[in-house]
Amino acid sequence: MLIGISGMISSGKSTLSKNLNKHYKKSMLLNEFQEEDVVFNTMLDW
């Protein structure tokens, strides 16, 4: 099964994803971007 989560900024997508990942022990959490992605984080700062 593959679940995609989308929504507005600050709507709890990351929290929901992390909680689902903790609940389903054999699951894998894939983020759209890497936490330490310099280019993406620079774009967010603009």
23 in a structural domain: yes
**Cα–Cα distance measured from residue 27 to residue 40, given in angstroms and rounded to the nearest whole number:** 26
Check: pTM over 0.75? Answer yes or no: no
Q: Which domain holds residue 28?
A: 13-45
38 in a structural domain: yes
What is the count of structural domains for the chain?
1
3 in a structural domain: no
Q: Which ranges constitute the DSSP H helices of 1-46?
A: 13-23, 38-45
6 in a structural domain: no
For the stretch 5-44, pLDDT in tens is: 888 888 999 999 999 999 999 998 877 767 777 776 777 7
